[in-house]
Amino acid sequence: MIKVMLFAQLREQVGEAEIKINAFEGSVNDLLNYLHEKYSLLNIENLMIAVNEEFSPTDKVLQEGDVVALLPPVSGG
């Protein structure tokens, strides 16, 4: 199982703070594509991605038990 933690507008788009995905095989990019198709997530190309609390490239292969945090860009004023 992969646990995906969602923040800010991603949480609002999905309606949940985290998603658990069973038997996922693939890279971070594959996960982003899956989430985009399933939840119609917007602006996924601008996300910062952390796997197990370390920032990660999109070609990283995910493993059983990984925790992926999807962090949208922060804006302020």
* C-alpha to C-alpha distance for 44 and 30, rounded to whole angstroms: 12
CB neighbour list of residue 4: distance below 8 Å, 6 or more residues apart: 18, 19, 20, 21, 31, 35, 68, 69, 70
Q: Distances in Å between the alpha carbon of 35 and those of 7, 14, 69?
A: 14, 10, 13
pLDDT at 73: 83
Structure pTM? 0.90
The residue extents of the domains of the chain are 2-71
Per-residue pLDDT of the chain (77 residues; tens, 9 = 90+): 999 999 988 999 999 999 999 999 999 999 999 999 999 887 788 899 999 999 999 999 999 999 999 998 876 55
pLDDT at 76: 58
pLDDT at 75: 60
CATH topology of domain 2-71: Ubiquitin-like (UB roll) (3.10.20)
| Sequence letter at residue 35 | L
pLDDT at 52: 98
Number of other residues whose CB lies within 10 A of the CB of residue 59: 9
Rg (CA), the chain: 12
pLDDT at 45: 83
